[in-house]
Amino acid sequence: MAVAELSPSYVNSRLSATQLPSLSAPVTNRRRLALQRRPRTALISCSVVPEQVKAPVAVPAEDSRGKPECFGVFCLTYDLKAEEETKTWKKLINVAVSGAAGMISNHLLFKIASGEVFGPDQPIALKLLGSQRSFEALEGVAMELEDSLYPLLREVNISIDPYEVFQGAEWALLIGAKPRGPGMERADLLDLNGQIFAEQGKALNAVASRNVKVIVVGNPCNTNALICLKNAPNIPAKNFHALTRLDENRAKCQLALKAGVFYDKVSNVTIWGNHSTTQVPDFLNAKIYGIPAKEVINDIKWLEEEFTEKVQKRGGELIKKWGRSSAASTAVSIADAIKSLVTPTPEGDWFSSGVYTDGNPYGIAEGIVFSMPCRSKGDGDYELVKDVIFDDFLRQRIAKSEAELLAEKRCVAHLTGEGIAVCDLPEDTMLPGEM
């Protein structure tokens, strides 16, 4: 067992793995850190074969001025380069999360840190964004992550500055948004949250990876994603997603219940349009046991009426039962959305995501973020599915959601750089539970 003793000054510095000396020989797969914080010193212990290390390795400090502050045990580092040489772990990735002190993040962050989302060989650096009011809670989140001893979690930074948190981010999960207060008009919510996502778009444009993947969760998520991407012109518009995966998961659940099957037998479910009550859960293209859902569920009235309403109002029903909005299932759907982009889509299947409509094959208006069926090769990118079928019923419903998103776009024109805002929203379609 090789042990390097550090002075207290090392504990408070943010250390870079790229500046550390490599060990003289490859490290075994079992290499892990056993870190202890003490009043005067901190220890780094490495489980390596003794003959592989000629002498204890001192960990140098780097100048951390102007950089985000790391948290606690994550200020201590290790020789990642040596571990990478074993080819057992991938290169460290930076995952930024806004609203990191909230209920959704409280479920999601531990899934990410455990390897459930990006894989069991993917080291993670978490960059957590909160507000001045939530900063102590954010510290509590970091403490829980610290105490969970996740081997893959190599770094945690916390800040209230998006320019610090988004520095070098390869994934940005934008969860934080203002809730809709009593008496607040939908147009006011669009403007209030739109300002948040305009600022975050600018920060991403300035400091994030040029190929960062962005998933917008904060509502109204479709239009917030549009505002964000319009303020980040140096990042491909295709890299921005609005979360409609929870709606897809809910639709799969309802089809499975009606058909009397387990939900893993349900596939090819699409949510079209906006994350609102104009969304269109598509039963026409859905399959059960690989057979069209309409042939398995021989109840057209239920499919056309009750099915859609159940999906749209599921969140409100949950609030009535539990007294609060969904957090755990939302976190699961964010994890599902990421996994759909980092693992190949099963042959013949697809998944739903709110994406930029430019170049879409469905005739949907360009320049908005609209939920559509996607496939991925597992490289973080996606392509729109071309082999879908439409009927008049489906097209009419899609058109209504399209009109709503175009109206929302006009309402936030001042935030997308497209002129003066004109709000002519036809009706209030916020989903139950999001008011």
| Residues identified as active-site | 275
Q: What angle do CA 306, 308, 312 make, to 5 degrees?
A: 115
* Beta carbons within 8 Å of 126's beta carbon, 6+ residues apart: 95, 97, 109, 112, 113, 145, 153, 155, 156, 157
CA atoms in the 13 A half-sphere facing the CB of 369: 33
CA 275 to chain CA centroid, Å, is 16
Q: Which pair of tokens denotes residue 105?
A: 């993040």
Nearest residue to 108 (alpha-carbon basis) of 122, 120, 98? 98
Q: Report how far residue 339's alpha carbon sits from residue 56's, in angstroms, rounded to the nearest whole number.
A: 40
Sign of CA dihedral 319, 322, 324, 325: negative
Which residues share a beta bridge with 383?
A: 375
- Compute CA distances 270 → 106, 180, 316, whole Å: 28, 27, 21
* Cβ–Cβ < 8 Å for 354, 344: no
Angstrom distance (rounded) from CA 243 to CA 221:
7
Q: Where are the beta strands (DSSP E) in 190-234?
A: 213-216
Secondary structure (3-state) at 22: coil
